[in-house]
Amino acid sequence: MNINNTYPFTYEPLPYEYDALEPYIDTETMHYHHDKHYKAYVDKLNAAVEANPQYKNWTLLRLLLNVDSLPSDFRTAVINNGGGVFNHELYFNSMGPDKTNPSTRMMNFIMESFGNYENFMKAIKAAALGQFGSGYGWLVQDGITKRLMVIATPNQDTVISLSMMPLLPLDVWEHAYYLKHKNERDKYIDDWFNVINWDWVEGQMED
């Protein structure tokens, strides 16, 4: 993860094989999504910092938490490409080939906030389907109450800028699903539920 790194930001390998999420998320989509789309965010973020070298010793976290203080052109590049780097690293790491279920501890948090797992699934699916255009559905942990919530964000906005801890991102940009699922975002979401790495999600939580 690049969040605590400074320039030059690195292009991180996919943490599993490209075909590992078949049949739910297809190999070709994973190649385009990781090797083309994610890499483009890394390259554009690095280019933006090169053009603003006074920020070369800022971590990605510091940049994202202080976007309001940045010069306007650089601010836009950080929101779009810095957000794109961070959100994609979360997305790729939050999935995996081995079917996992929430631990008892994780399930207790889910039940406390949503009543049961089915309600959580309905909530994140509704949020992700309701995100007009490109963006993400999220399971997040509120920074103050520590309770779990589902939200949606547009484009490459980050939830850390909303003082929330990202637990589980659901990328609903068309590049995440169009090759296989075409216009059927709902079918992609139904497939995505099968590749969540709940052990990783739980590791994101703050006590």
Chain residues that interact with Mn ion, rule: CB under 5 A:
171, 173, 176
Three-state SS annotation for 82-142: HHHHHHHHHHHHCECCCCCCCCHHHHHHHHHHHCCHHHHHHHHHHHHHHCCCCEEEEEEEE
**Distance between terminal CA atoms of the chain?**
21
CB-nearer residue toward Mn ion: 74 or 173: 173
Phi, psi (degrees; rounded to nearest 5) at 148: -85, 145
CB-nearer residue toward Mn ion: 12 or 171: 171
CB-nearer residue toward Mn ion: 92 or 114: 92
Nearest distance, CB of residue 101 and Mn ion, angstroms: 25
Token digits for 4?
């605590």
Host H or E run for residue 62: helix 60-65
CB-nearer residue toward Mn ion: 18 or 117: 18
Nearest distance, CB of residue 48 and Mn ion, angstroms: 19
Query: Which residue's Cβ has the minimum distance to Mn ion?
Result: 171
CB-nearer residue toward Mn ion: 173 or 192: 173
**Residue 190: closest CA among 112, 104, 129, 115:** 129
CB of 200 within 8 A of CB of 139? no
Nearest distance, CB of residue 170 and Mn ion, angstroms: 10
Nearest distance, CB of residue 50 and Mn ion, angstroms: 24
Q: What totals of helices (H) and strands (E) does the chain contain, helices first?
A: 10, 3
Nearest distance, CB of residue 156 and Mn ion, angstroms: 8
